[in-house]
Amino acid sequence: MEMLIEENNQKRELLNEKNKQIYEDILVYVRLSFSKSEQETEEILMELLDHLLILQKEDRDASELFGDNPRGYADEIIGELPKTVTKKSLCLFGMGVCYFFATSTFFQGFLVMLLSFLFDHIQTSRTYSLGTVLVNSFSSVVIAAIVIYGMIRYLRWSCFNSGSKVSERIFAGVIFGIIPFGLFIVLFYFMPSFGVMINLEVYWLMPIGVILFFVGQWLRKKA
């Protein structure tokens, strides 16, 4: 499949500007469809690219292939692709979760240790409520998953869209940046403490983050 993707990347450079824009919109739209066979997706995208290159060589319009509604044409392609939940998809999801917690855990520990080095009165130990940690962790994964899902839906919606790119970016920044950040703040600062209390030196968060990072790397190689 990697060879197909690389070949696709090379052949796309042969398209003129107009055909390249139409094809890349279709490519992004189809690739971002959920639970579809990656192999068959790349095969049909390559077949479309070959047909488009033939039309271009013969000075014929791309509408002869895609019609007047490229989005509808792409939806038809997606409808014909077989559904599949692959091992790769599960590994990539696990990788994303590990990277998310590796980053947040490591930098939390690093920041506290840095502040304790600069200011002697900073406490390096923290008391964590196990129940609160578990709920916050689960809620964080859910919020992150919703944001990622929303971003994918937004990217698919923006394909074939000739509207203002500036307003689209502002809209995306608010929906996928400011709002999720606000939810995380509310979640971590207003969630009541409950469950078993655990006292932990914050510097342990850094090696925990490193371990989670390498688990994510392992899952990435498995994908």
DSSP string, 23-75: HHHHHHHHHTSSSB-HHHHHHHHHHHHHHHHHHHHTT--THHHHTT-HHHHHH
Cα–Cα distances in Å, from 13 out to 9, 16, 23, 208?
7, 8, 11, 44
- Report the pLDDT value the prediction gives residue 208, as an integer from 0 to 100: 92
Q: Are residues 68 and 98 in the same domain?
A: no
| Structure tokens given for 168 | 């689209």
Lowest mean per-residue pLDDT among 40-44, 85-89, 136-140: 85-89
Is residue 164's pLDDT more than 60?
no
| CA-based nearest residue to 202, from 128, 132, 151 | 128
Q: 0.75 exceeded by the pTM?
A: no
For residue range 86-137, what is the model confidence (pLDDT) as tens digits? 666 778 788 888 988 898 889 888 888 887 777 766 677 888 888 888 888 8
More confident residue, 189 or 28: 28
Is residue 48's pLDDT more than 80?
yes
CB 216 within 8 A of CB 95: yes
Structural domain range at position 169 = 87-222
| CA-based nearest residue to 203, from 125, 136, 144 | 125
Domain count, the chain: 2
Q: Are residues 57 and 104 in the same domain?
A: no
Last residue of one domain, picked from the residues 80, 111, 145: 80
125: Cβ–Cβ under 8 A, 6 or more apart, which residues?
Answer: 199, 200, 201, 202
Last residue of one domain, picked from the residues 45, 63, 80: 80
Lowest mean per-residue pLDDT among 34-38, 179-183, 208-212, 214-218: 34-38
Is residue 211's pLDDT more than 80?
yes
